[in-house]
Amino acid sequence: MPSTLIEPTTKLPPSTHPFAEIIHRLERGGSMLPDTEENLMQIIGLYKAYAIPMDFYWRDLLYIAERVFLDPVPAFKYFLPKEYLELANHYAGDNADLRIWRGYATAHKELLEFIEKGELKARIPKLFHHFYHDRINMEFAEECMRAMFWHRNMGGLLEPYMDSAEYKQNADRAIRAYFRDNPIMLGLYKLFPDMFIEQCRQATMYSVLGLFWEVMCPVFLEMSDIYDEGGFKGVPDAMNFLVNGIFAIAGRPIYHRVYIRGEWYDIVPKSKGFTWLYEAAFPYVEAVFYRTSPFRGTKSYNAQAREVPDDQNDFHYGILYADKFPVASAGIPPTLLHQDMYHFLPQYLVDYYQKFCRGADDMLIQLGVSFQRSMYNVTSAVIQAGRAAFLYPLDDPNPRHLWANRYYFEGQLNRFANPKYGMNKAARILAIQSQDYR
Amino acid sequence: MLSTLIWLPIGGATIASFCSAKWARIVAILTSSAILFLHVLLLRQFNLGTGEFQFSENLPWLPNIGLNYTLGVDGLSLPLLVLNALLTWLVLCFDREVKERPRLFYVLILLIHAGLSGAFLALNTLLFLLFYEIELIPLYLVIAIWGSKQKNYAATKFLIFTAVSGILILAGFLGLAWVAPAPKPVFDYQSLRSLSLPVTAQIVLLLLLVAGFAIKAPFVPFHTWLPDTYVESATPVVMILGGVVAKMGTYGLFRFCVGLFPEAWSLLSPWFALWAGLGILYGAVTAIAQKDIKRMVAYSSIGHMSYVLLAAAAVTPLSLVGGIAQMVSHGLILALLFNLVGIIEKKVGTRELDVLNGLLNPLRGFPTVSALLILGGMASAGIPGMVGFIAEFLVFQGSFSKFPLPTLLAILGTGLTAVYFVILLNRTCFGKLDNKTAYYPKVLSSEKLPAFVLTTLIVFLGIQPHWLVTWSETTAQKISSRLPSNAIVQLINLQQQ
């Protein structure tokens, strides 16, 4: 049963944008993803399947940022200690700062079970699971972090702060403490200080992404629970839940601290007032959804044919453009995230995938497409949140305000319609309008 | 024993024609399995130490006109008999493509098998011609009934070409019988071999037979029926056509042209060698120009059959062994390639090179089929480790000392084979699947089984070629020894002048 959309009292003439139909939907409070029961089922199922590995991602990202830090040989950085598995999520459980998920704050039970037995369903030493790739693949999370770190300058105040003298001073303090008993590394630090500071910035980005996903994990789990209880009536409901969540959480702090020999060293202190929405959510969406996702199925590009933009702003290799099929050679499997989500698919989604294409055989591709749909919905939520934050209500009677909203929506969708570098062909926005895109 | 190989499929076909479609299939499978088993027994009992015909059977049929039911097997016919049995078994056991009139299909395939076996076993030229012509009828029907759009055109073209081929061969055999210095026409192969004919008569009769068999094989420029027939035929039919039926042409060349006219053959062999070299290049170059993968494989066949002509022209023991090995190797590889191309066409709905892409994709493509296609392409291009290399290497090694230039042209042709297979594989298997079209159905395991069987043989015989060449070594030695030495050929040349 589709959810009810807003019917503005003031009508604007139809948009002439190539994606006019989608713009009209956004103007009525809808999502870029069509409102169908099938779409809702797919995106919520995927949110659930994504939330559980994400529970590992955020914990491990924080572990790397706070404990592994500048370890020159971080061989065991993906082996999460018990302390971090029991780390309380600030947005779940009874003692949450802001309770989003009604469940518990420690690592998800399905995740713990998977860590213990893996896909092999056998209790063997962790190292064997690891080498067999029978684990949560942190490589995906790290690639997301690197995408954010590489693009940088996507707005927010954290970016300039990381280049400030204060940041360098904080980092210097932490670096000296971390390598206190290691004269070789201290000597290297003296010789190449910028390299160490850059590594420290990367650790900060670990922390930023970890804190971002610490929020998103309970959001997705709660959405899954609400759906299971029959709570969402359509795709816009799911999107609005995200929009409301974004506003509720927007001001949560973004920080980076390192734990060295029993003492916490602030590199980006909470007191600086960096917030979740501007320093983590927006840059994440920009970097991973639009510009450079770690998905190996991303549109193939050829530098010699000038397919790679000179300007990082023109990159368009994010999830929203990702091809469901691998490129370069046909033998590369889909992204590791697909593999991670595959382990935690809800049964209704497994049953659904069995009915189409090659059933169990190409479930990784089918869930990849569902993931793309769900990320278009998340992007829609971010677009709507941006509209709500900076522009006007959708039922505003003032036509000038509605025109401003339209220009905003059209501006956002222009990113998918730009023929430069073949962006319009690479974007999957038209593909997801059809249920047959699987 | 040998009669069973002919009459068992005929019996099976007769029973199947009275059964329901389901039972007809069961009868066909059981018959082809029994036939294959008999061939295994034949291999076990075959005496490798003699180049003479074995398991001979001789029954007078119409002695007044010289037609006798004389059968025998030697190292030339044995590998082709086994190839025939194997491909028939694969087609009947694993083919699920034929949905329309399946009973008739099984019956006709069994009859084709019987006709081919009869031709390979016949030691009477009239009996050979009888089988050669008889299998034409079921072949015409399987092309015309189960072919694709232009099936009638292709079937008629095939019929006309092969009928002309039959007429030429008949003319050659009748001429031979009449010219032979004997009180009454001779059609018995063994007797004909012992005859001594004037060289001019030999040349005229040889050219008639060569033209007839060149159409069947086919060699350039008698090949124009082949692309249409192969492309328009259904996958199981083209596996038989390309795998075995075409081998009747090269078999006839070895058996009757080289075997019955040794002096004339020796005289003309330089021209045949040059013809082979040019044919190989022509086949390769035309294959490169194709945009349809089935047509490309079909054109590849034209070039590859010319390797056999080169081997026959050289008539050294090594080249003859290589030629026989090439017939088997080509039969296996071509059947594999047509089988895989058929699967791709069935699943994707096209054979166009410009449309196909990324089939090696592990989840939505056909990774196994593509991998086997790559292997088949490599085998066809003569990559070491596979049976194609062994056969071609033996042909080159055996021919180079006698005909260096044509052999070099053939080697160049092998290089060009690699070129068109790289084009085929690069465009078909590699690259990226298109989001809009890549919803192809899965290839079932049963559909892949024939390809697995053929691939296993291609690789096994490539690694252990002894199992391929051992059957024909003595026979090749014997055929080669019957040819006059170079000195005698020069003498004949002088006499001619």
Q: What is the pLDDT of residue A220?
A: 96
CA nearest A300 in B: which residue? B432
* B236/B342 Cα distance (integer angstroms): 9
Q: What is the pLDDT of residue A133?
A: 85
| Rounded mean pLDDT, B359-386 | 92
Q: Is A98 left (phi over 0), alpha (psi -120 to 50) or beta?
A: beta
- Do both B175 and B195 map to the same domain? yes
CA nearest B357 in A: which residue? A330
Which of A339, A362, A425 to substitute to test the interface with B, most B CBs within 10 Å? A362
| Rounded mean pLDDT, B53-67 | 87
Q: CB of B362 within 8 Å of any CB in chain A?
A: yes
Q: Measure in Å the smallest separation between the Cα of B436 and chain A Cα atoms.
A: 8
**Do A330 and B361 count as a contact with CB atoms less than 8 A apart?**
yes
Grade residue B363 by pLDDT with cuts at 50, 70 and 90. Answer: confident
Handedness of CA B432, B438, B444, B448 (dihedral sign): negative
**Do A330 and B442 count as a contact with CB atoms less than 8 A apart?**
no
Which residues in chain A have their CB less than 8 angstroms from residue B438's CB?
325
Q: Measure in Å the smallest separation between the Cα of A330 and chain B Cα atoms.
A: 5
Pick from B268, B406, B290, B301: nearest CA to B351: B290
B68 forms beta bridges with B60
Pick from A263, A269, A275, A274: nearest CA to A67: A263
Q: Answer for the pair B357, B428: CB distance below 8 angstroms, yes or no.
A: yes
- Do both B445 and B310 map to the same domain? yes
Whose structure tokens read 């066949």? B301
> Which of A326, A329, A361 has the CB atom closest to B442's CB atom?
A361
pLDDT tens readout for residues A118-166:
988 888 888 998 888 899 999 889 989 999 999 988 888 999 999 999 9
Q: What is the pLDDT of residue A334?
A: 53
Pair of tokens at residue B253? 């060349």
pLDDT tens readout for residues A401-419:
999 999 999 999 999 998 8
| Rounded mean pLDDT, B363-384 | 92
Calculate the CA B91 to chain-centre distance: 16
Look at residue B357 and tell me whether its pLDDT is greater than 90: no
Q: Measure in Å the smallest separation between the Cα of A332 and chain B Cα atoms.
A: 8
Instruction: Show which of B236, B260, B284 is a domain's final residue.
Output: B260
Grade residue A260 by pLDDT with cuts at 50, 70 and 90. Answer: very high
| 3-state secondary structure at position A317 | strand
pLDDT tens readout for residues B427-437:
899 887 877 77
**Do B364 and A334 count as a contact with CB atoms less than 8 A apart?**
no
Look at residue B306 and tell me whether its pLDDT is greater than 50: yes
pLDDT tens readout for residues B328-340:
999 999 999 999 9
Pair of tokens at residue A418? 């730009």
More confident residue, B339 or A10: B339
Number of H helices, E strands in chain A: 18, 2
pLDDT tens readout for residues A40-79:
999 999 999 999 999 999 999 999 999 999 999 999 999 9
* A145/A61 Cα distance (integer angstroms): 9
* A357/B364 Cα distance (integer angstroms): 8
* A13/A406 Cα distance (integer angstroms): 11
CA nearest B364 in A: which residue? A362
Q: Answer for the pair B151, B143: CB distance below 8 angstroms, yes or no.
A: yes
Pair of tokens at residue A335? 């992204």
Instruction: Flag the least confident range among A249-258, B54-63, B386-395.
Output: B54-63
Which of A296, A307, A329 to substitute to test the interface with B, most B CBs within 10 Å? A329
A264 forms beta bridges with A259
Which of B432, B437, B443 to substitute to test the interface with A, most A CBs within 10 Å? B432
- Do both B271 and B188 map to the same domain? no
A253 forms beta bridges with A275
Query: Angle at which helices B404-428 and B367-380 pack, to 10 degrees?
Result: 170
| 3-state secondary structure at position A50 | helix
B402: containing domain: 267-497
ipTM of the complex, rounded to two decimals: 0.74
Give CA angle at B169 (B164, B174), nearest 5°. 125
| Rounded mean pLDDT, B304-313 | 94
Grade residue A300 by pLDDT with cuts at 50, 70 and 90. Answer: low
- Do both B238 and B272 map to the same domain? no
Grade residue A1 by pLDDT with cuts at 50, 70 and 90. Answer: very low
Q: What is the pLDDT of residue A332?
A: 40
For residue B148, CA distances in Å to B26, B90, B231, B450 come to 26, 21, 8, 22
* A149/A154 Cα distance (integer angstroms): 10
**Do B431 and A334 count as a contact with CB atoms less than 8 A apart?**
no
> Which of B429, B432, B439 has the CB atom closest to A357's CB atom?
B439
Count CB neighbours of A270 within 10 A.
12
* B16/B29 Cα distance (integer angstroms): 10
pLDDT tens readout for residues B191-204:
888 888 888 889 99
Share of chain B above pLDDT 70, in %: 97
**Do B363 and A361 count as a contact with CB atoms less than 8 A apart?**
yes
For residue A100, CA distances in Å to A105, A208, B359 come to 10, 19, 45
pLDDT tens readout for residues A309-368:
888 888 888 888 887 765 443 334 457 888 899 999 999 999 999 999 888 888 988 998
Instruction: Show which of B213, B242, B260 is a domain's final residue.
Output: B260
Phi (first) and psi of residue A258, to 5 degrees: -125, 140
pLDDT tens readout for residues A16-41:
999 999 999 999 999 999 999 999 99
Q: What is the pLDDT of residue A333?
A: 43
For residue A407, CA distances in Å to A95, A275, A411 come to 43, 27, 6
Q: CB of B442 within 8 Å of any CB in chain A?
A: yes
- Do both B281 and B175 map to the same domain? no
**DSSP string across A363-419:** HHHHHHHHHHHHHHHHHHHHHHHHHHHHS--TT-S-HHHHHHHHHHHHHHHHHHH--
Look at residue B492 and tell me whether its pLDDT is greater than 60: no
- Do both B117 and B147 map to the same domain? yes
**Exposure pattern of B448-468 as b/e (b: 16+ CB <10 Å)?**
bebbebbbebbeebbeebeeb
Q: Answer for the pair B250, B301: CB distance below 8 angstroms, yes or no.
A: no
Mean pLDDT of chain B: 91
Q: What is the pLDDT of residue B156?
A: 94
* A267/A203 Cα distance (integer angstroms): 10
- Do both B57 and B72 map to the same domain? yes
Look at residue B35 and tell me whether its pLDDT is greater than 70: yes
* A60/A130 Cα distance (integer angstroms): 15
Phi (first) and psi of residue B68, to 5 degrees: -125, 150
| Rounded mean pLDDT, A282-287 | 93
pLDDT tens readout for residues B380-414:
999 999 999 999 999 999 999 999 999 999 999 99
Q: What is the pLDDT of residue A3?
A: 60
**Do A358 and B364 count as a contact with CB atoms less than 8 A apart?**
yes
Q: Answer for the pair B219, B236: CB distance below 8 angstroms, yes or no.
A: no
- Do both B178 and B147 map to the same domain? yes
* A241/A222 Cα distance (integer angstroms): 10
Which residues in chain A have their CB less than 8 angstroms from residue B435's CB?
323-325, 428, 431, 437
Grade residue B64 by pLDDT with cuts at 50, 70 and 90. Answer: confident
Pair of tokens at residue A292? 């450079």
- Do both B206 and B299 map to the same domain? no
Number of A/B CB contacts below 8 angstroms equals 51
| 3-state secondary structure at position B484 | coil
Pair of tokens at residue A57? 């991602």
Q: What is the pLDDT of residue B496?
A: 55
Pick from A410, A57, A92, A421: nearest CA to A207: A57
Q: What is the pLDDT of residue B195?
A: 80
Mean pLDDT of chain A: 90
Instruction: Give every CB contact of residue B129 below 8 A, 6+ residues apart in sequence.
Output: B166, B169, B170, B173
> How many separate domains does chain B show?
2
Instruction: Give every CB contact of residue B35 below 8 A, 6+ residues apart in sequence.
Output: B5, B8, B9, B85, B88, B89, B113
Give the CA radius of gyration of chain A: 22
* B99/A46 Cα distance (integer angstroms): 42
* B231/B155 Cα distance (integer angstroms): 11
* B109/B135 Cα distance (integer angstroms): 10
Which pTM was predicted?
0.84
**Exposure pattern of B210-224 as b/e (b: 16+ CB <10 Å)?**
bbbbbbbbbbbebbe
Q: What is the pLDDT of residue A328?
A: 41
Neighbour-count burial of A418, counting CB atoms closer than 10 A to its CB (0-12 exposed, 13-18 middle, 19+ buried): middle
Q: CB of B346 within 8 Å of any CB in chain A?
A: no
Pick from B135, B203, B124: nearest CA to B166: B135
* B163/A301 Cα distance (integer angstroms): 56
Count CB neighbours of B404 within 10 A.
11
Which residues in chain B have their CB less than 8 angstroms from residue A362's CB?
363-364
Instruction: Show which of B260, B284, B303 is a domain's final residue.
Output: B260
Residue spans per domain, chain A: 20-433
Which of B357, B364, B368 to substitute to test the interface with A, most A CBs within 10 Å? B364
- Do both B58 and B128 map to the same domain? yes
